[in-house]
Structure formats: C-alpha cells, structure tokens
Structure 1
C-alpha cells in the first residue's frame, strides 16, 4: 500500500497545533523532524521538546487530495506561519526490517554480543543478547548505551543485584543478567519502555530474574543494588543526584551515561560527594562516568 505524505515547516509553538489539525483531517500518522539541523539534548523529565523550526509530516491514504489538505490547513493558520510544503507518494515498507539492514551484531569487551534476531553469535566464553529495534531507546548502537555495555562486559557482576535506571529497551539490565547478575530491576518513566524491557527479557530467557517497573512502583520496593546504571541525560542526572546515588549500597558501583563531554564537569561536581569517581571515558561526543559509593 502506498501513502500520500504531506509536510510543512513551521515554528515550535505552531507545530503541535498543525499536527493536531492534520490528525483531525484524518492523518494515519503525524511526526516531527528537525528543519534546520538544530540539536535538542536536554528535555526535562516528561517534557517533549521540539525544534525552533520543525517540519510536521503527515501520512494520508491515497484517496486524500493533498492540494485540498493544504487549502484547508491554510484557512486555519496564517499563511506566513507555514512554509516549504512538500507532497510525496511513498511506498509502504516493513519499517523494522528496513532499520535492520543497518543493524549488525556488536561485540563489547570481547565478552558480550548484542545481535538482532537471526544474526546471533555463539562464541566460546561470550554471551549473546538478542535485541531488535523497537519503540524504546537502546540497541547498543548509540555511544551512551555502548559505553555502558562496555563497562558491564569489563566488570564482574556475577551474583550481584543491578538497577538499570532509565532502562529504555532494558538492554543494560538484560546484559547484566546474561553476564551473571543475580537480579535486575529495569526502571523507566515510559510505559512503552517497560513493555519493551519485559518483551526483551522473555526473548533472552531472563524474565524470571528481572522486575520492570515505573519509578513510583520501584520506589515502593526500597531496593538498593550492588550496581546501578543510569543512562539518562546530564540534567536529570544532576537533578536526581541524591535519589540515584541513594540506590547504591556502600562500596557499590554507579555508572552514569547520557552525558555530553562539555557537561561532564557539572555531573562530576554533583556526584563527587557520593562517589569515588574514575577518570571519564569518552566515545564520540559522549562521556561515561563511573565510581564507587563512599
């Protein structure tokens, strides 16, 4: 099946209104895209942050007349607020499989494989985590996740309790279990992430050793762990410093990621009262911090 794709550039304040209007006109999906190559790094927890100039993209069935959609939209908004209209007809695709063409097995510290379904690697003295791209962040391809996987594969977590705080796909919690951890908690504010983590745990046959939950559910457990991994962003890491550091037992290990290199000093300043920090480790523009709880 093919689709009409209609897109237009507008301001960050107008973009949500245009998106809602496209939906009201029967769009089967509406997405945002950066129109001016402007990075957005630091949304607050629960905040959806978009770009100053945003392209709003809507998909419609082929029965829809794109010119009519544009005309109706321009009657609802000021014409100068909407620019660079683009109409395209696009073929349907198996989007997950398209992404998989670019997703290949990855090996961390000579010990941990992360592989898509059908490309599993079985080598002696290694473990294989099976993970396919999905709705939740975390496949190991991004430096923030790769830095944490490298740490896990380089340290002995045998028999330990692990908390993956901001778990996304659950990749770090599952990796820890495959590497010998006794129990893992996968925590995220996004219910889709909890679902993804549960599904991935089943796929890797560790569902009996993992608890996936929202922060408010996790708080009720009063659990502290030998190892805590928090792959979030610098601002929430700093805002929640007491809460995150408090999850680690005395002499336990804390791993922080999602930190841009220029933000590292601020995060170090926040966590030094709680941790004996190791030297930061950098990959591309991103930094991993790790240390032992005082």
Structure 2
C-alpha cells in the first residue's frame, strides 16, 4: 500500500504552524527534522527545541485526492511555501519506523506520560498513555497538545465527565480517563480521527468509557469538563455551542491558538465564563476558565 508524503523546509518559527496545518488537513503523521546540519542537545521532557532550518514531513493516505489537498493547502500556505512542497509516494513499511525514531516517552504536568506502545517508564506513580504510529496523529509533541495535557494533569477529574472536541488521536480524552474521569465523549469531523481514538482507547484499556461522534451526531450532553484543541477560527465560531456542552461551573480549556489570537478569543468567551490566566508555550497559548452561563 502506498502513502502520499509531503515535505518542505522552513524556519524554526514556522515549523509548528505548518505541523498544525497538516494535522488539521488529515495528516496521519507529521514529523519535524533537521533541514541543515545543526546538532541539538537533549532537551527536558515536554519541551520542544527545533532546528533553525526545519524539515516538516506530513504523511497522508495514498487514496487522498491530491488535487483537493493542493487546493486546501493553497488557502493555508503562502505561494512561496506552496511552490516549495515536495510530493512523493512511499511504501507503508518505511514511515512507521521513521516515525518511531522521533517518538520518545514525554512527561506532562506532575504524573502524566505519553509513550510509544510497549515502552515502560520508571515512575511508579506515572499515568501512562501508550500510542503507536498508524492513525495516531497527535502524540503530544505539538505545543498545543502539550498545553492541554498539562492542564488535564492539573484538574480534579476523578468521577467527572469530559468532552474532547476535535479529538484527533483521542490523546486528550484518553488522558482524562487515565486521570480518573468516568467517561469521555470524543467529537471530530474526520471519521479517521474517530477510528484512531477508538483504536487508541482499546490499546489503553479505556474503550468502554470513551464514545466517539461526528459533530452533527453528538448527544446534547453537558459535561463537567471540555477540552478543545483545534484552531482559533472554529473556537471563535463555535463558542456558544461549546459553552452549551459544559455544565454550569464546569471547566474548559481551549488551544490551537497563536499568541496574537488570544485577546480576540478571550473576548469571545468572556461573556460566558470566568477566565484563568493564559498559559503559553512557544508561540501557542491555552485559554481556560469556568462556565458561568446558567442552564
């Protein structure tokens, strides 16, 4: 079976943005590598140091409509970046091994870990999420995911209900369940993301407490917690609907937001909520708060 691989060389600052663009267009995996010859010293878990010249490589299913994908990229990328894209067909067996070389155990908050399937950690009190390649896009390496995982680790989730809106690999919903949540509703517009979430929930022994839905099929349930790691535009547009999914005095966290978008997004949610201080990692932020809307 063949796969469609896209790659381009970019700056350290642009690489995380391109990573998120590819993920939101349905990439099965996105890897970042050295496009020059710059050695990096080992960095602490959950930190992300990139190369000054970074190669961003995204993998899509071979059945992906290349023309439609190119049209979508044309709306998201500058003409210069679009013209520098390298398109390639590759065999299935190659990318899984390459992807695993870049995926090492990572820690978030005080006790949460994300590890490649089969790897163990030495922390006796660690809460471990196991992921492997396949459909497991969204592994915690992107700053927005790291912000959400750290936030979840700081919450009192035992016995609580959670909505993971824009679930991707299901990593956030699975983290919530491993941290004590009683149930998770995972919502995504991409059927592949729902399949990835279900598969990863099975691998982590929490499938009986995670239900997946397309947005137009999701129940109208209100949850104690909601986490949405998508993009600022949809977060602004969906604000009333997302708030309506949260119980009064329930908690939420929103990410996929660049620092320059934080003020606009905060203004959108302030009429409904009490907002916490903004959390920032690199050029990305997380906005969290408590729903003050009654009923």
Q: TM-score, normalised by structure 1?
A: 0.73
Relative distance call for 1:289 and 1:92 in structure 2 (3 A) is closer
1:48 to 72, 75, 88: 72
**Conservation of the 8 A alpha-carbon contact between 1:161 and 1:226:** yes
Cα distance change, pair 286–134 in 1 and its aligned pair in 2 (3 A): farther
Q: Alpha-carbon deviation of 1:134?
A: 3.6
Give the aligned CA root-mean-square deviation in angstroms. Answer: 2.6
Aligned to 2:270: 272
Once the 2 structures are TM-superposed, how far is the Cα of residue 42 of structure 1 from its aligned partner? 7.0
Q: What secondary structure, in the 3-state scheme, does the structure 2 residue paired with 1:262 have?
A: helix
Q: Is 1:57 matched with 2:87?
A: yes
- Show CA shifts across 1:206-249 (max 9, x none): 0110101111111xx21110000000010110011111111111
In 2, the alpha carbon distance for the partners of 1:133 and 1:187 equals 21
CA distance in 2: counterparts of 1:133 and 1:29, whole angstroms: 14
Structure 1 Cα separation of the partners of residues 137 and 4 of structure 2 = 20
Q: Which residue number corresponds to residue 222 of structure 2?
A: 224
The answer (yes or no) to whether the contact 2:177–2:184 under 8 Å persists in 1 is yes
- Would you say the 8 A contact 1:42–1:235 is kept in 2? no
Residue pair 1:115, 1:131 contacting (<8 A) in 2 also: yes
**Cα drift, residue 34 of structure 1:** 4.4
Supply the distance in 1 between the matched residues of 2:223 and 2:72 (Cα, whole angstroms). 31
In structure 1, C-alpha distance between the alignment counterparts of 2:203 and 2:92, rounded to whole Å: 28
What is the match of residue 215 of structure 2?
215
The answer to whether residue 177 in structure 2 is matched with residue 177 in structure 1 is yes
TM-score by length of 2: 0.73
Give SS of 1:48's match.
helix
- Following the alignment from structure 1 to structure 2, what is the Cα–Cα distance between the partners of residues 122 and 216? 42
Matched with 2:237 is: 239
Q: Which residue of 1 aligns with 2:95?
A: 95
In 1, distance between residues paired with 2:213 and 2:273? 26
Instruction: Quote the residue 2:117 is aligned against.
Output: 117
3-state SS in 2 of match to 1:140: coil
Corresponding residue for residue 251 of structure 1: 249
Aligned residues: 236
Q: Note if contact 1:186-1:210 (Cα within 8 Å) is conserved in structure 2.
A: yes
Q: Distance in 1 between matches of 2:199 and 2:289?
A: 31
Corresponding residue for residue 127 of structure 1: 127
From the CA coordinates, give the structure whose radius of gyration is larger.
Answer: 1
CA contact (8 A) 1:166 1:230 kept: yes
Which residue matches 1:282?
280
8 Å Cα contact 1:30-1:56 kept in structure 2:
no
Q: Kindly tell me: are residues 245 and 45 of structure 1, through their superposed partners in 2, closer, same or farther at Cα, counting changes over 3 Å?
A: farther
